[in-house]
Structure 1
Amino acid sequence: MFEAKVASGNGEQILSRDVYRLGHRLDFFRMFSFFFSTVGHYFSTMVVVLTVYTFLWGRLYLALSGVEGGAKNQSISSKAVGTILNQQFVIQLGLFTALPMVVENSLEHGFLPAIWDFLKMQLQLASFFFTFSMGTRTHFFGRTILHGGAKYRATGRGFVVEHKRFAENYRLYARSHFVKAIELGVILAVYASYSPLAKDSFVYIALTISSWFLVVSWIMSPFVFNPSGFDWLKTVYDFDDFINWIWSSGGAASEANKSWEIWWYEEQDHLRTTGLWGKLLEIILDLRFFFFQYGIVYQLGIAGKRTSVAVYLVSWTFMIVAVGIYVVIAYAQDKYAAKKHIYYRVVQLVVIVLTVLVIVLLLEFTPFKFTDLITSLMAFIPTGWGLISIAQVLRPFLQSTVVWDTVVSLARLYDLLFGLIVIAPVALVSWLPGFQAMQTRILFNEAFSRGLQISRIISGKKSTA
């Protein structure tokens, strides 16, 4: 939260009249000094993340459009050149970014102590921490530039050895890290499925290893540095608490930490105060989620290798039907689930039978394949999130209509899905033996780690007595 507060403040600075005047009136060298000692660090960090986004979206476009495959077929392969480039990649991997720090420490402490400090930082997972911090600065700095609205955030001075529940971590980092990491992960997965270059494992690793590290860091860092973050029992309790928070109806006197709906509305506060250009830019940025559908529908078997725009337009019927089915089931649940439960079950049965019947007819009379169902999820789930994001921008026009209730209900399901995706690797690591002790040793010194283990043994004996 402290990083978010400072990043938002620097975003407001870069929009201020004072910075504008200083930037125009200082000489070249003083202007550089002013830039890099104030807003420059945050601006450079944002450019790094935007570069990753541009690179991955560009590679995905080349793969889905077939340009990458055509370029590969026309290129002249040379094993000698490939070997040279592979060796160069291995040497450069992470070296140039860490070289300034190693050189500076070498001048102050000597070469061997500098190397040892660098290795110790990696063992303490410093790369995870600073990569996650980079995402925090980028999100709040960029959002403040687009919409303004920097505000005071009570960071507090709480005791550091305190386990934070999963729901609290999700509320803090869902929009700034988790959703973005899932987006990049989906891009990398789709690229691996449809890129001809991804068939060569080394080429794919060389192109995407840093991006995968970014995804893992943004998802796992809040739990890696969370005391007892990989304790299985605490993970189970955290999951139950998260589910209760998601489905809590809230109320007029409720707070964001007790109701998902209150938190969801608070996350849109910056869209209420932004201007027309801010809303327009937000909608343009949200349109990127539609590209998944545009690129993947042409790869489905039912498309029959057709490339006309009609294929993309027809694919929207799936979105309309899917939303229609959800609205029907939600309406039946609200009206019949409590008192006339048999009617609700009849509606569910009719929907399931009709869905199965349509799938059977498609398999029989069209080039539709059963794998198209799984592949289409990668296309239409991002489209749904894009529609929800645009609906949040258009909230003043939609909130008084019946559409808004559907938007809120679908957004709840998406946050539930995102939460399950994030907690899945945490639960896996918590279930495997040894990771909890390893995390405790990384976070705390040896004496505290030993005392923590003894306290667990004592508390376990008390609970069984």
Structure 2
Amino acid sequence: ELNFIADVDIYRIKLPGNAMLGEGKPENQNHAIIFTRGEGLQTIDMNQEHYMEETLKMRNLLQEFTKKHDGVRYPTILGVREHIFTGSVSSLAWFMSNQETSFVTIGQRVLANPLRVRFHYGHPDIFDRLFHLTRGGVSKASKIINLSEDIFAGFNSTLREGNVTHHEYMQVGKGRDVGLNQISLFEAKIAYGNGEQTLSRDIYRLGHRFDFFRMLSCYYTTIGFYFSTMITVWTVYVFLYGRLYLVLSGLDEGLATGRRFIHNDPLQVALASQSFVQLGFLMALPMMMEIGLERGFRTALSDFVLMQLQLASVFFTFSLGTKTHYYGKTLLHGGAEYRATGRGFVVFHAKFAENYRLYSRSHFVKGIELMILLIVFEIFGQSYRGAIAYIFITFSMWFMVVTWLFAPFLFNPSGFEWQKIVDDWTDWNKWISNRGGIGVSPDKSWESWWEKEHEPLKYSGKRGTVLEIVLAVRFFIYQYGLVYHLNITKHTKSVLVYCLSWVVIFFILLVMKAVSVGRRKFSAEFQLVFRLLKGLIFIVFISTIVILIVIPHMTIQDIFVCILAFMPTGWGLLLVAQALKPAIMSVGLWGSIRALARGYEIIMGLLLFTPIAFLAWFPFVSEFQTRMLFNQAFSRGLQISRILGGHKKDR
């Protein structure tokens, strides 16, 4: 119901069906625009402010509406630049401040003139109210597809022969996100929005009606950036899986012994120069030029060096994974949703379970997959072994793996404080072991979170389901190739070896099913029987490992290779089962799939938590992290809070 108040609430209009027709924020904007007056309308978010001296320039800015900027049309949106005032809170806030400064100065200045593809980005732009009031308002509020409602206002204005400009003589203050989780949620929302833009009619119409150069400019400055980012990450996957094929098929060894591949000095020089560029010098050039023009090139160089010392490369590599995951997820399954970031002026410690929920599928799983690929490449690869080229080839990939796995904990306040680590481990255990169900939120139970994570698969249709299964097939390559590289199977290439490996996998799944059934039937009334069953399974497991060790030609490396072969296979089975959830539930195996998934989550949690706990043993690590990544006021406040809180014995 929508209530219209006139004289303590007299008239009431009841709308049919669900009154929530679109996204909340643009609905409010389009509803409020009819109550505004005048010919100009400024859109300011709640995290923005006007400076007193800047408001004196408003009269000059409004005069721009009377000037034909391209000689043909009057402007319909007046864009202005922003000043980020939250850059001093933490290193992350400073990175975002510099990134934003580069975008809202050089970026938008060039977008407006000469490219003429500047739109509206939620910034403090001033709209021609009468133009937009008669053309659908300042936002498009359709559910889901217009998640980034602000840029669609620019699309709509341009499609209806409007003109968007940018003016640098005036600026408006803006507070950006200051914590990693806030920044990631914001970037996830923007990536979701770009995915929906890719599927929208507006981009299709703009591409058809622009001339060739404006079409390319529009692509590069909207969805093209996210598509190129996704292609960059895909390139790493294609390269490593290609190397995996070469290594496991034996072609790699053949190439390594070939005469033309022995002397590869030109290749090493090329890779060295490429790695130098990949460190970020080329990408940081626009930002350095902008800071140099405004505050001097010595300041720009010192800021760049300081940003690198404060691990800016780690942050931007991590955000690469955020953009890729959510953009690709939206293209594959749709179902983008608004994610409130909070935009609070606060830096706080995020618990381990919270970081795991937020980054598990977007970063941790992908980082572990790439790590396994690199390990297999290291064990069986021959082409670049011992050569400088091998270092240059794998350095950037190892850097990305370590960044995707540990950046959330590195940029987490008090991330290496021992008492926080103990509390985080208790919270993690509680979350991973709690049962889900109706009304249990994802932050209270792993089961509820896990069910919610693959919920978009229900709405992706047959095409999305098939694509998900096809993508999951890549995890079976490990098993097929690695079982033939064991010492015990070195002299046989029979298909029976591959079949036997599947027998082993099904035996493990059968054991897990027995444990799951035993927990349900015996854990409550027959605890002794259940404990004996678990003990028997443990003895069988240990005995199997011992037998494998004493088998002739079976080595410790073989056992390690078996783990590398079977772990990805189990994960691939999980992905296929999630895509075929209705069929799995109909045969009563969903409980077993959930149990297998929980086991994988526990393994990943231990893999991530162990190095963090080890570093937390050393007090200087936490001290160094706080002083390097946060400003002096926050560091002093943290020290004072520790003193006032007292030193507990268990610390």
In the superposition, the TM-score normalised over structure 2's length comes to 0.67
Instruction: Select the residue among 296, 300, 314 that pairs with 2:486.
Output: 300
Give the Cα–Cα distance (whole angstroms) in 2 for the partners of residues 378 and 326 of structure 1: 20
8 Å contact kept, 1:303–1:367: no
Corresponding residue for residue 125 of structure 1: 311
Instruction: Select the residue among 183, 189, 194 that pairs with 1:10.
Output: 194
**Structure with higher strand content:** 2
1:173 aligns with 2:359: yes
Give the Cα–Cα distance (whole angstroms) in 1 for the partners of residues 283 and 424 of structure 2: 37
Cα 1:266–1:358 shift into 2, 3 Å:
closer
Q: In structure 2, give the amino acid aligned to 1:347.
A: L
Give the Cα–Cα distance (whole angstroms) in 2 for the partners of residues 406 and 462 of structure 1: 43
Cα 1:210–1:314 shift into 2, 3 Å:
same
Q: In structure 2, give the amino acid aligned to 1:248.
A: N
Q: CA deviation at 1:29?
A: 0.6
8 Å contact kept, 1:192–1:204: no
Give the Cα–Cα distance (whole angstroms) in 1 for the partners of residues 324 and 234 of structure 2: 9
- Which deviates further from its counterpart, 347-356 or 168-177? 347-356
8 Å contact kept, 1:59–1:191: yes
Aligned to 2:619, the other structure's residue is in SS state: coil
Instruction: Select the residue among 504, 519, 526 that pairs with 1:318.
Output: 504
Instruction: Select the residue among 32, 44, 48 that pairs with 2:232.
Output: 48
Q: In structure 2, give the amino acid aligned to 1:285.
A: L
Within-5 A mapping of 1:51-450 = 51-76=235-260, 77-78=262-263, 81=266, 84=269, 88=273, 92=277, 94=279, 95-99=281-285, 101-102=287-288, 105-106=291-292, 109-197=295-383, 199-200=385-386, 202-355=388-541, 367-450=553-636
Corresponding residue for residue 182 of structure 2: none
8 Å contact kept, 2:479–2:565: yes
Cα 1:254–1:361 shift into 2, 3 Å:
closer
Q: CA deviation at 1:275?
A: 1.3
Q: In structure 2, give the amino acid aligned to 1:412.
A: R
Q: CA deviation at 1:370?
A: 4.8
8 Å contact kept, 1:64–1:295: yes
Q: Equivalent pairs: percent with the same residue?
A: 47
Q: Rg larger in 1 or in 2?
A: 2
Aligned to 1:434, the other structure's residue is in SS state: helix
Corresponding residue for residue 23 of structure 1: 207
Q: Where in structure 1 are there 5+ consecutive unaligned residues? A: none
Q: In structure 1, give the amino acid aligned to 2:452.
A: E
Give the Cα–Cα distance (whole angstroms) in 2 for the partners of residues 425 and 416 of structure 1: 15
Q: In structure 2, give the amino acid aligned to 1:34.
A: C
Deviations 1:307-360 (A, max 9, x none): 343322221111011111222233233333343233234334443454556566
Aligned residues: 464
Give the Cα–Cα distance (whole angstroms) in 2 for the partners of residues 284 and 393 of structure 1: 11
Give the Cα–Cα distance (whole angstroms) in 2 for the partners of residues 310 and 107 of structure 1: 69
Q: CA deviation at 1:112?
A: 3.5
8 Å contact kept, 1:441–1:449: yes
8 Å contact kept, 1:304–1:367: no
Q: CA deviation at 1:291?
A: 1.0
Q: CA deviation at 1:78?
A: 3.1
Give the Cα–Cα distance (whole angstroms) in 2 for the partners of residues 204 and 383 of structure 1: 28
Cα 1:207–1:250 shift into 2, 3 Å:
same
Q: CA deviation at 1:87?
A: 5.9
8 Å contact kept, 2:417–2:619: no
Give the Cα–Cα distance (whole angstroms) in 1 for the partners of residues 341 and 256 of structure 2: 52
- Which deviates further from its counterpart, 351-360 or 30-39? 351-360
8 Å contact kept, 1:147–1:270: yes
Aligned to 1:174, the other structure's residue is in SS state: helix
Corresponding residue for residue 646 of structure 2: 460
Deviations 1:241-284 (A, max 9, x none): 01110000133221111011111111112101101111111111
Q: CA deviation at 1:387?
A: 0.4
Q: In structure 2, give the amino acid aligned to 1:164.
A: A
Flag the structure with more relative contact order, 1 or 2, with Cα contacts below 8 A and sequence separation at least 6: 1
Deviations 1:376-429 (A, max 9, x none): 011101100110011000012212332111001111111111111122222222
Q: CA deviation at 1:361?
A: 5.9
Say what the alpha-carbon RMSD is for the aligned residues: 2.5
Cα 1:99–1:60 shift into 2, 3 Å:
farther
Give the Cα–Cα distance (whole angstroms) in 2 for the partners of residues 361 and 430 of structure 1: 38
8 Å contact kept, 2:314–2:407: yes
- Which deviates further from its counterpart, 40-49 or 74-83? 74-83
**Structure with higher helix content:** 1
- Which deviates further from its counterpart, 133-142 or 55-64? 55-64
8 Å contact kept, 2:275–2:396: no
1:34 aligns with 2:214: no
8 Å contact kept, 2:194–2:226: yes
Give the Cα–Cα distance (whole angstroms) in 2 for the partners of residues 229 and 312 of structure 1: 44
Q: CA deviation at 1:161?
A: 1.6
Give the Cα–Cα distance (whole angstroms) in 2 for the partners of residues 463 and 360 of structure 1: 43
Q: CA deviation at 1:31?
A: 0.3
Cα 1:61–1:463 shift into 2, 3 Å:
same
Deviations 1:187-245 (A, max 9, x none): 11111111114531633321111111111111222122221111111011101101110
8 Å contact kept, 2:480–2:498: yes
Give the Cα–Cα distance (whole angstroms) in 2 for the partners of residues 226 and 361 of structure 1: 45
Cα 1:9–1:314 shift into 2, 3 Å:
same
Give the Cα–Cα distance (whole angstroms) in 2 for the partners of residues 273 and 58 of structure 1: 32
Q: CA deviation at 1:294?
A: 1.3
